[in-house]
Amino acid sequence: MLHEVFVKYHIGFVVDDQDKLWNRMSDSHLDMDAAASQGLYPLHRCKTLHLVRHAQGFHNVEGDKNPDAYLSYDLFDANLTPLGWSQVDNLRKHVKTSDVSKGIELVIVSPLLRTMQTAVGVFGGEAYTDGITAPPLMNDNVGDSGRPAISSLNCPPFIAVEQCREHLGVHPCDKRRSITEYRNMFPAIDFSLIESDEDILWKPDIRETNEEVVARGLKLWKRKEKEIAVVSHSGFLFHALSSFGNDCHPTIKSEICTHYANCELRSVVIIDRGMIGSDNPTTNYPGKIPAGLDLPSDIADEKLSGNGEAN
């Protein structure tokens, strides 16, 4: 009985029924758990990433039949299958109807044929027609696709980045062509961040480790743009994202770190907790313009309380 009374008064309120007490304490713990599971961050320290794996390539088809096919030079820089282009068309419809494309400031793409075909097909302009002076994102029939040229009008800029390539080495399907060849295929994609015309990163006898993929993936998120589409590969996306979500519920971790299907899109928010890539806020407003007296009542109460204690 004494213990029961102590508990009732020690926590700051009195209840008539012990069951009500424990129910209230349980609800309180639930509220604390809910608060602990949520995070509040300044908007200018967050980026929205729309992550896409390329559509089906010929290497996917052959590799599914026989994994040894990934070692074949017949699949060098494999392009999209007809089914892959259908996947591109369907994802394009989705990003248009869901308004995903409206906020995208930049499209980052791995400099391989299948990823660039996917990127321009999903996020590019409409079909390129005579009379348009701007260079096309993709010329017609690239990769013997039979697809018309794609306009660079009314769409975000595209930039090719080596950091989001698939595992480097051994598999010829992951070896790129020269940048000179790609510029002829994709005139409006910016290749200025790629230093070497030839592919000096891919080695025929050394396959990049998962840890190396993670390390270069972390460098990719430091750009200044706040809403970015990234078109990449299964291995890169899986391993680059594996370092995130360890402080989340297992269900959320699995949403982040499961392998992507061909032409799958997932949108995530990345938060800069370490001042690595944040810019000054553009939506915040300092207030007090013009300046005036504005002491809040809660701070006034604290000051009065402090004065009272001092006395």
Give the span between the Cα atoms of 39 and 30, in whole angstroms: 16
CA-angle at 274, arms to 269 and 280, nearest 5°:
75
Q: Residue 240: name the closest of 166, 141, 154, 129 by CA.
A: 166
Give the span between the Cα atoms of 266 and 52, in whole angstroms: 7
183, exposed or middle or buried, with CB in 10 Å at 0-12, 13-18, 19+? middle
- The continuous run of DSSP H or E covering 134 comes out as none
Catalytic-residue membership of 225: no
Tokens of 166: 């698939």
Give the span between the Cα atoms of 283 and 291, in whole angstroms: 20
Q: Of these residues, 62, 166, 208, 227, which one is catalytic?
A: 166
Catalytic-residue membership of 309: no
Give the span between the Cα atoms of 18 and 165, in whole angstroms: 62
Give the span between the Cα atoms of 227 and 104, in whole angstroms: 5
Under 8 Å between Cβ of 77 and 113: yes
Under 8 Å between Cβ of 281 and 42: yes
Calculate the CA 292 to chain-centre distance: 43
Give the span between the Cα atoms of 294 and 27, in whole angstroms: 37
CA-angle at 267, arms to 261 and 272, nearest 5°:
125
Q: Of these residues, 50, 54, 59, 239, which one is catalytic?
A: 54
Active site residues: 54, 166
